[in-house]
Structure 1
Amino acid sequence: MKADPAVQRRLLELADVDAELARTEHRRRTLPELEEIAAAERAVRERRDAQVANATALDDLDREVKRQEKEIDGVRARGDRDRALLAGGGVSAKQLTDLEHELATLQRRQTTLEDELLEIMERREAVEADGQHAGVELAKAQETLADAARRRDEALADLDTTQARRDDERVKLVPVFPEALLALYERVRANKGIGAALLRARRCGACRLEMDRSALSRISASSADEVLTCEECGAILVRTGESGL
């Protein structure tokens, strides 16, 4: 294949554009903010789960408090009834003994229930404090997520600007090249990542390998308009005064 040497040299411009486009795409996929966002999203989910678990625990304790208070109220009501009977008189000696025994039992039961209620209230207070802490931690995680998302969006906007500029340059460059030359360039770029490179100081600019004597002899013997490729990586070799031939 033959192509004007000046056109071949412009392949280096296209290669530079494509290299920056590739770097832009790689940067887009590997932004550190993406990992930060993933970690922050996990933290937000964990904090929300903690809040849900805390709210469930509070609901359970509230039900337990109500049950305990209801039972205490029942014991108090039974005691009030017994005391009213004692105060009213008209009970037999046996009834009097039974009522006094029941009152003593009810008092012990009420004391036990009130101690248990106090313990439940203390547990509820601790769980409520944990819930407040979980809320603070959730707010921090959401703030971290928002900050990482903002920085990601700023970085993506910069990358979009770079890509748009380079895409425009590429659109203007592509018509410069003959169809066959462009097809070769695109095929090599698709397979190797670099379609064309400068031959500088007898070294391929794509694979960085120095040419052996036979390869250099072949290149030196080729006409200036001959399209040559690197035997190692397949990239189109663009020859200039820097090639060392």
Structure 2
Amino acid sequence: MKAAPEAQRRLLDLQAVDTALAQLAHRRKSLPELAEIDAVAREISALEDERVRAQVVVDDLDRDISRLEKDIEQVRLRKDKDQKRLDAGGSLREVEGLQHELATLNRRQSELEDAELELMEQRETAEATLTEVQGRISAAVARRSEAERKRDETYQEITKEQEFKTAARVPLAADLPADLVTLYDKIRTESGLGAALFRAGRCGGCRIELYGADLNRVKSAPADEVVRCEECRRIMVRTSESGL
């Protein structure tokens, strides 16, 4: 392929823009905030599981405490009923029976109240655990929100820069021969770099230094010949820095 030396040199300007666009695209995909957001999301998921387990413990204790309160209330009602009967009087046998039952009910009430007190202490500990987990979730959610805010701000900056670079690319490409741009774009699509400066006998694409016949091939090529590297197949742009 033939192309004016100046057109070939302007390929380097086009490549510089495309390299900047590729770097911006890579930056968009590899922002540290993205890794942080993923890590915090996993942390929140694990904490939610922990919160559910803590909530289950609290709910189970609430259910047991509620059951004990009902049992205690039933004992109190039974005591009130027996006490009224005792106050109403009766035979000695009935009085003794009621007194015995009241003593039994008092012991039962004391046992139930002790059990309730123990469960309430357990619930206080379980509630503290639940609150602590909820606090860690809130902190993690705040960290995720901050990371998302930074991510979005950086995305906006990158988008503006991409739009600027893309706008600058259009006249650069339009000012070059269409077949040269087509070849350049094909190589760039395949390898990420379409054209590179040939400097001091070295390909700027693969960094391989040319010797002997390979170097003579480049030296003897007409100025308007589009020379490609035998190794990486990229366009080698010759300038005063090429050492030819």
TM category (shorter chain) comes to over 0.9
User: Matched residues in 1 for 2:82 and 2:32: separation?
Assistant: 75
How many residue pairs match? The answer is 244
User: Displacement of 1:84 after TM fit?
Assistant: 2.5
1:204-243 correspondence runs (5 A): 204-243=203-242
* Percent of paired sites with the same residue: 45
Q: 18-27 vs 98-107, which deviates more?
A: 98-107
- 1:211-245 per-residue CA deviation (whole Å, 9 max, x = no partner) reads 12111111111110001100000010100111111
Q: What's the Cα RMSD here? A: 1.7
Instruction: Name the counterpart of 2:19.
Output: 19
1:109-128 correspondence runs (5 A): 109-128=108-127
User: Matched residues in 2 for 1:101 and 1:125: separation?
Assistant: 36
**Residue 32 of structure 2 corresponds to residue 32 of structure 1:** yes
User: Matched residues in 1 for 2:43 and 2:142: separation?
Assistant: 11
User: Matched residues in 1 for 2:186 and 2:211: separation?
Assistant: 25
Query: Partner letter of residue 155 of structure 2?
Result: L
Instruction: Name the counterpart of 1:194.
Output: 193
User: Matched residues in 2 for 1:111 and 1:207: separation?
Assistant: 87
- 1:66-122 per-residue CA deviation (whole Å, 9 max, x = no partner) reads 2211111111221222233233221242x3343233222212211111111111111
1:29-68 correspondence runs (5 A): 29-68=29-68
User: Matched residues in 2 for 1:32 and 1:26: separation?
Assistant: 12
Query: Partner letter of residue 81 of structure 2?
Result: R
User: Displacement of 1:48 after TM fit?
Assistant: 4.1
User: Matched residues in 2 for 1:185 and 1:134: separation?
Assistant: 57
**Contact residue 202 and residue 208 of structure 2 kept, 8 A:** yes
**Contact residue 198 and residue 236 of structure 2 kept, 8 A:** yes
Instruction: Name the counterpart of 1:174.
Output: 173
1:99-114 correspondence runs (5 A): 99-114=98-113
Instruction: Name the counterpart of 2:74.
Output: 74
1:130-149 correspondence runs (5 A): 130-149=129-148
- 1:11-56 per-residue CA deviation (whole Å, 9 max, x = no partner) reads 0001111111111111111111001111222333444444444444
Q: Secondary structure at the match of 1:237?
A: strand
TM-score w.r.t. the length of structure 2 is 0.93
- 1:120-158 per-residue CA deviation (whole Å, 9 max, x = no partner) reads 111221222223223322221121111111111121122
**Contact residue 89 and residue 95 of structure 2 kept, 8 A:** no
Q: Return 5+ residue gaps in structure 1 as ranges.
A: none
Q: 224-233 vs 156-165, which deviates more?
A: 156-165
Instruction: Name the counterpart of 1:3.
Output: 3
TM-score w.r.t. the length of structure 1 is 0.93
Q: Return 5+ residue gaps in structure 2 as ranges.
A: none
